[in-house]
Amino acid sequence: MQTVVPLIEKPRGLLRRYAWRYSRKNLGDVADPVRALAHHSGVLMANGALEMVAAKQWKALDHRLRWLAIQATSSGIGCSWCTDFGYYEGMQTGVDPRKVRDVPRWRDSDVYDEQERLVLEYAEATTATPVVIDDELVKRLHASFTDEQIVELACWVALENYRSRINAGLGLESQGYSSKCELAPA
């Protein structure tokens, strides 16, 4: 598949140079979403600000639960770039490799505990259109998480919906992050 906009190879201007440097520092390479969003400086700046604030300030939820919510969301949407990067991120941050592999088939897997299953179920329910969250799911969320954690969980799912829809909408596909992992994807 061809990207909808060409990926900018060489950054021009302070904002783009900063985005390239930040991406290389954190990922070892310039991520294709950065190269695509660089066509619009306002979008690039807003996206970068959102990502940096979320990374630094959204800390109420355990990082492994956050990762599960994000990966389940990108998997549900079918964004190959996000799923590929999510696999890499899970492996790099110490998520159990069995859990990394089993996200697409979480309902049939025996590697997740009840809280993780709840996160996966919530991510699936809130990524669906229309969103359907029944009273039982709400009750179970409140039994396992604080209000602050529930808000953050909802925001991680929403942020990944935002990312995945942008990347898929721009025709971005896997950039090969998962191939850098010792354990190959299933």
Q: DSSP 3-state assignment of 16?
A: helix
Query: What is the Rg, in whole angstroms, of the alpha carbon atoms belonging to the chain?
Result: 17
pLDDT score for 182: 62
Residue 163 φ/ψ region, left for φ over 0, alpha for ψ in the -120 to 50 degree band, beta for the rest: alpha
Confidence grade of residue 149 (pLDDT, cut at 50, 70, 90):
very high
Nearest residue to 19 (alpha-carbon basis) of 39, 48, 43, 40 = 48
pLDDT above 80 for 5:
yes
Q: Please give the Cα distance from 141 to 71 (Å, whole number).
A: 19
Higher pLDDT, 28 or 155: 155
* pLDDT, average across residues 114-141: 97
* pLDDT, average across residues 11-26: 96
From-to residues of CATH 1.20.1290.10 in the chain: 63-180
CATH number for region 63-180: 1.20.1290.10
pLDDT score for 179: 83
Its pTM stands at: 0.93
Contact 72, 102 (CB under 8 A): no
